[in-house]
Structure 1
Amino acid sequence: MVDFYDDAARERWVAEPPKRVNAPERTPFERDRARVVHAASTRRLAAKTQVVGPQADDFVRNRLTHSLEVAQVARDLSRALNGPRTDQPDIAETAALAHDLGHPPFGHNGEEALNEMAADIGGFEGNAQTLRILTRLEAKTPGAGLNLTRATLDACAKYPWGLGERPGSKFGVYDADRDVFAWMRSDAPERTCVEAQIMDFADDVAYSVHDVEDGIAAGWIDLTSLDEDAVLADLRAWYLPEADTELVTVTFERLRAVGTWPTAAYTGSRDSLGVLKNLTSDLIGRFCAAVQEATFAATEGPYARYRGSVVVPDATAEEIAVLKAIAGHYVMRTPERLAAHDRERDVLHSLNDTLLARPEAMERQFFDDWQGAANDADRRRVVIDQLASLTDPAAAAWHGRLSR
């Protein structure tokens, strides 16, 4: 097999001396994975919102458990596409573990609030913040964050372009981080690498399936009694603007044909929980198998770096989108959640105002960044970095303490 993970792929932004002789023998990509696992930003994900607040229920996912599940799906899909004798499973898994590091407290609601605050200094985007954390903010190598390899960083780049360079609002780099971004993408074509595509699809799978599972277990969703018109409205608003009633009807028919789709409402019993877990497993297997088959049919492997692409069949994309719309309607956009959104945004806006006036209240590492900033825009970006690093409980506690 051609080595797609050559010296350039293994290169780090800052050259590192050889490891100690008695250190465990690991590849550069295994070291990358270990660095992400041990990062402070990874630990903080345990107290950041996935669907609902991490303190709301013992069963529902937080950003850390979601990331672990995305990593498992990404690793398995990578092995299915290329076999075990490649570095790709380590790279895809690390990208999956890191993919949500840039998310602020309060989930996508917090992301929107920070984007409002940073509108005139380049905005805020969770994916761009992830790159900033990996290459600058995490404490490992001075000036280089975790100092990951080029191939691993590139696999983390779901949107390898800046603000306004592509249709839509998502982007993957702030102007301040263009230097390391240019190094990461040197000689790269105008597309995401295969490893990033694997991570992106694994995120979609875990997000869609597990959010529905959480909603069922919490009593918010009953798959035996769904309002298809309401699901269609959310599907059009958020995921598939051209969707119609027929698409939803046909998609539901396919999903209900999955052998473990429930025929009775969830009760919380062990048997009922078993049915739910088996449905989750079957849906993940269904989606990954469909992508593996479609990818194999499109081009011959190996599928690595910029050779080949991950192919998601239309039917699979529709099923994933419908599941997302179910979770959106019954969990994320309920009146209760929308009311909580207002409170969360108020907390972040208030903290932003307070820290701009009292920068010494920030954590030492961010206050050091503030003092070293060259201009007002850079100082405001430091405050955004501090706010984005906070967990949900920490944001609430800081607000309570600093607003007295």
Structure 2
Amino acid sequence: MLIANPAATAPYATKAEKTRGRLFPEAESATRTAFQRDRDRIIHSGAFRRLKYKTQVFVYHEGDNYRTRLSHSLEVSQIARSVARVLGLDEDLAETLALAHDLGHTPFGHAGETALDECMAEYGGFDHNAQTLRIVTKLERRYANFDGLNLTWETLEGLVKHNGPVLVPGIGMDDLPRAIVEYAETQDLELATYAGPEAQVAALADDIAYNNHDIDDGLRAGLFSIDDLLALPLVGNVFQGVIDRYPGLETTRIIHEAVRELIGRMIADVMDETRARLAEAKPETAEDIRAMDRPLVAFTPEMNEHNAALKAFLFERMYRHYRVNRSMSKAQRIVQQLFELLHGSPDQLPPEWQQGCDGPNGFKTARRVCDFIAGMTDKFAIEEHQRLFDLHDPRS
């Protein structure tokens, strides 16, 4: 018997008791909904644990106060649950997608992804969303009857399409990442439609958390100052308002107050715009939302402009700061050198990773090495590089 989530009160919510099911049939849980079970499988996965030492902007050893992929995912899940609850959606599905959305990221954030994508250029490339799908459907090996986590259709669909349809005019199946194409041969995730509402909530929660917490981390790292933010629309007004309301307040509290208020304003904006779109579209089911010609869950045009200005600022002042550039340059060299060595000498892979290789510089070897490196934490990648390249490292 499938259990319903009583919190999913909206008729257009994704209903746990009406899930399209799992690729490999299993007996249902007597105590958890299908989406609660998905969430628990994500939390207990090895890939989720490794997010603790995977970073977004700063390498893990640069400070204990900066966000990691794990702390970011937890923050996204909190926002996603809050928004889903107010909209009457399935909180558990929104939380599951928020917790899983970064599983496919490489060590060293986007710098590591760029390096690995370049290494894999002749072998199908690398995409972190596709890698997330590969992890939850193939690479996690915990169960006797199947590879992967055997998640529900709705969770897999949301992971692949949370940013919108992946088959759009001008983009065909041959243009998609290899992992998505391969899985589509097994199960149809309806790649040309939008994802369900909970996945859309998780995507916006990711944007809200990412932008605001990068402000926090950037200020703490001294990459820019509060004064530098004051000219930005919305962000500057919020910071100035906190400064005016609390004269003499210490800087760390100003940052916390302002970031908290910014998150609240962005959530309120999503609520207003989504309710307006609900009133216009009048969806009766989650399928109606998938069939829409635009996202249901969205920012207002004004908030999109504010976010664009903030992202441009962060790109220039944080992501391209010379200190970050130096760190990420080293990180890219680590990824590139690991790939080149292991691809050419797969006998240096751990025994379990040598399985499935097709010899030095082979196509299958490239994918195995890619999976191995993509799953590394920053910490392990640095240590593995030292073991393989430092002649004086006794761990070689």
> Which range, TM-score by smaller chain?
0.7 to 0.9
Is the contact made by 1:161 and 1:172 (CA closer than 8 Å) also made in structure 2?
Answer: no
Q: State the distance in 2 between where 1:306 and 1:183 align.
A: 21
1:3-402 residue pairs with structure 2 within 5 A? Answer: 4-5=14-15, 9-18=19-28, 25-82=31-88, 88-141=90-143, 143-157=146-160, 158=162, 174-181=177-184, 184-186=187-189, 190-226=193-229, 252-258=232-238, 261-263=241-243, 271-300=250-279, 305-308=286-289, 309-370=296-357, 376-402=362-388
Q: What SS is found at the alignment partner of 1:341?
A: helix
Is the contact made by 1:127 and 1:172 (CA closer than 8 Å) also made in structure 2?
Answer: no
Is the contact made by 1:140 and 1:147 (CA closer than 8 Å) also made in structure 2?
Answer: no
Q: CA deviation at 1:40?
A: 0.7
1:219-246 per-residue CA deviation (whole Å, 9 max, x = no partner) reads 2221223596xxxxxxxxxxxxxxxxxx
Change (3 A) 1:322 1:67: same
Q: State the distance in 2 between where 1:366 and 1:167 align.
A: 37
1:75-122 per-residue CA deviation (whole Å, 9 max, x = no partner) reads 11111212xxx5x21111111111111110111011011110111221
Q: Tell me the TM-score normalized by structure 1.
A: 0.81
Change (3 A) 1:348 1:61: same
Q: Tell me the TM-score normalized by structure 2.
A: 0.82
Aligned partner of 1:105: which letter? P
Change (3 A) 1:347 1:26: same
Q: State the distance in 1 between where 2:79 and 2:59 align.
A: 24
1:327-377 per-residue CA deviation (whole Å, 9 max, x = no partner) reads 322222111221222221111111112112332332344222336x9x932
2:8 maps to none
2:6 maps to none
Change (3 A) 1:3 1:320: closer
- Count the aligned residue pairs: 365
Q: State the distance in 1 between where 2:65 and 2:285 align.
A: 36
Q: State the distance in 2 between where 1:321 and 1:191 align.
A: 23
Q: State the distance in 2 between where 1:191 and 1:256 align.
A: 34
Q: CA deviation at 1:165?
A: 6.3
Is the contact made by 1:10 and 1:28 (CA closer than 8 Å) also made in structure 2?
Answer: no
Moved more, 179-188 or 93-102: 179-188
2:292 maps to none
Gaps of 5+ in 2: 1-10, 290-295, 392-396
Q: State the distance in 1 between where 2:55 and 2:104 align.
A: 12
Is the contact made by 2:116 and 2:370 (CA closer than 8 Å) also made in structure 1?
Answer: yes
1:185-240 per-residue CA deviation (whole Å, 9 max, x = no partner) reads 45565223322221111111111000001111222221223596xxxxxxxxxxxx
Change (3 A) 1:186 1:131: closer
Is the contact made by 1:260 and 1:278 (CA closer than 8 Å) also made in structure 2?
Answer: no
Q: CA deviation at 1:152?
A: 1.2
Moved more, 2-11 or 282-291: 2-11
Is the contact made by 1:50 and 1:107 (CA closer than 8 Å) also made in structure 2?
Answer: yes
Is the contact made by 1:102 and 1:126 (CA closer than 8 Å) also made in structure 2?
Answer: yes
Q: State the distance in 2 between where 1:57 and 1:39 align.
A: 26
Is the contact made by 2:163 and 2:203 (CA closer than 8 Å) also made in structure 1?
Answer: no
Q: CA deviation at 1:262?
A: 4.8
Change (3 A) 1:58 1:366: same
Q: State the distance in 2 between where 1:335 and 1:18 align.
A: 53
Gaps of 5+ in 1: 229-251
Is the contact made by 2:230 and 2:236 (CA closer than 8 Å) also made in structure 1?
Answer: no
Change (3 A) 1:78 1:161: closer
1:247 maps to none
Is the contact made by 1:194 and 1:306 (CA closer than 8 Å) also made in structure 2?
Answer: no
Aligned partner of 2:236: which letter? R
Is the contact made by 1:160 and 1:172 (CA closer than 8 Å) also made in structure 2?
Answer: no
Aligned partner of 1:96: which letter? A
Q: State the distance in 2 between where 1:54 and 1:260 align.
A: 32
Change (3 A) 1:160 1:385: farther
Q: What SS is found at the alignment partner of 1:26?
A: coil
